[in-house]
Every structure is written in structure tokens, then in C-alpha cells.
Amino acid sequence: MLVNVTCVAIGRRGLLIEGPPGSGKSSLALALIDRGAVLVGDDGISLEPRADRCWALPPPNIAGLLEVRGIGPIKLLTTSAPIALVLALDPEAPRLPDPGTRIYAGCSLPLLPFRPGDAIQALRAEAALRTFGIA
């Protein structure tokens, strides 16, 4: 199980959001869920290599729970999805970041440094998935 990551599925592709506690992973996930994404896992996911893809699955002990700051955990539907992109939340991410790669469970995944916290964050995350994510 991976910790300090949150994952949502957007149109059958997993968007893995990584960052330290309090960096905005759950807030970004909530904004994306509001736009139609489905939760895979918050503050932890299970990984399963399948053929040439790495799948994110809800973690059994906290499946369906998303922590909303100031409210507490809320219960949501979950799904599983192949990870297509990793967003690394970093307040110092450059305006025009260079994509990289991250290895999880032996799978090489596209990685994009991503500045958290502004109002248009969910739209930017969807654009990043379209532009840099595995098709």
C-alpha cells in the first residue's frame, strides 16, 4: 500500500496525487470528484501491476473515505483504475514544469510537478492528464 497519495479516476484513467500531509491532495480530489471523477483512495491506495500497467485500487481499511478538511471523513463510491499520471504537489513547482517519471511497483509512470491551491486547480489537473497522461 502507498501512503501520502490520493487517487481518483477520470474517464477510466487513474490520476495519482502525491504530496506531504496537508499539501492539498484531498482538496484536489474533492474538486475533481465534484467535476465527475470517482475516488480510488485517499491517503493511501493499493497497487497491483497488471500486464504493462499499474492499477490503483481502494485500500481495504479506508476504502470509500475521503477526509474533507474542517468536516472530517465522508463516504464516497470508489473504483479501480490504471494509473495514467502522477501529480507531485509542490508549492514551488515551476510555471512550465518538465515532465518526468516515477516508478511505482515496477511501473514507470509520467510525473508532473504540480502547484497546489489555486481556484482553477481541478481544471489544470484534467488538462495535465489529457496532455501528459498515458492514453
Q: Name which residue leads in pLDDT, 123 or 82.
A: 82
What CA–CA distance (Å, rounded) separates 128 from 19? 17
Pairing mode of beta strands 81-89, 13-18: parallel
pLDDT digits (tens, 9 = 90+) for 19-50: 999 899 999 999 999 899 999 999 999 999 99
| Predicted local confidence at residue 119, as pLDDT | 59
What integer best gives the mean pLDDT of the chain?
92
| Predicted local confidence at residue 122, as pLDDT | 82
| Predicted local confidence at residue 51, as pLDDT | 85
Helix (H) / strand (E) element for 124: namely helix 121-132
What CA–CA distance (Å, rounded) separates 42 from 75? 11
| Predicted local confidence at residue 81, as pLDDT | 97
* Cell 499539501, residue located: 23
**Alpha-carbon distances, residue 63 vs 12, 26, 92 (angstroms):** 18, 14, 31
Cβ distance 15 to 40 under 8 Å?
Answer: no
Burial 110-133 (b: 16+ CB within 10 A, else e): bbbebbbeeeebbeebbebbeebb
| Predicted local confidence at residue 57, as pLDDT | 97
For the domain bounded by 5-127, which CATH number is listed? 3.40.50.300
Q: Where are the domains of the chain?
A: 5-127
| Predicted local confidence at residue 133, as pLDDT | 94
What CA–CA distance (Å, rounded) separates 133 from 131? 6
Summarize the confidence of residues 74-81 as an average pLDDT: 96
Helix (H) / strand (E) element for 106: namely none
